[in-house]
């Protein structure tokens, strides 16, 4: 849809995201592992675009060495999981406005696959070479 296309074109603090899969999947890595995440919930993340904005601000600015790979977005619940590489410990206080965190998952590296999860969208950071970033 053109609205989705518009969202992909939006420069978010120089971070662009592209959706992977449909509306019922969460992000996974090349080993089908899901990612550690920092969670935002509520009115501040009432769209996938706002979720991407929040993730770009924190943890997306390399705070603490965390590498942002993308986010899972559950629209009906305004539930936004910012997905980072495994291997670095963090908690809810890591990002000022976060509502939760879980560093225990094993996902790392580029988001390349998905696993079924009702109502969830998977968005991955666009690589500089990808077409969605080239067409600004």
User: pLDDT 10s digit of each residue in the chain, 136 long?
Assistant: 444 444 444 444 457 999 999 999 999 999 999 999 999 999 999 999 999 999 999 999 878 889 999 999 999 899 999 999 999 999 999 999 999 999 999 999 999 999 999 999 999 999 765 444 333 3
For residue 8, the model assigns a pLDDT of 45
Sequence-distant (≥ 6) Cβ neighbours of residue 54 within 8 angstroms: 40, 44, 45, 80, 82, 97
Q: Is the pTM of this model over 0.85?
A: no
For residue 54, the model assigns a pLDDT of 95
Dihedral sign for Cα atoms in the order 135, 10, 32, 95:
positive
How many Å apart are CA 60 and CA 25, to the nearest integer?
22
């Amino acid at each position: 849809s053109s609205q989705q296309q518009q969202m992909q074109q939006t420069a978010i603090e120089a971070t662009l995201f592209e959706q992977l899969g449909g509306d019922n999947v969460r992000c996974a890595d090349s080993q089908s592992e899901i990612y550690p995440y920092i969670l935002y919930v509520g009115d501040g993340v009432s769209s996938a675009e706002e979720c991407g904005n929040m993730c770009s601000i924190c943890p997306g600015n390399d705070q603490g060495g965390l590498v942002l790979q993308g986010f899972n977005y559950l629209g009906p619940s305004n539930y936004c999981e910012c997905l980072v590489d495994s291997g670095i410990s963090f908690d809810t206080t890591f990002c000022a406005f976060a509502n939760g965190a879980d560093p225990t998952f094993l996902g790392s590296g580029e988001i390349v696959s998905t696993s079924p999860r009702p109502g969830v969208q998977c968005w991955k950071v666009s690589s500089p070479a990808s077409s969605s970033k080239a067409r600004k």
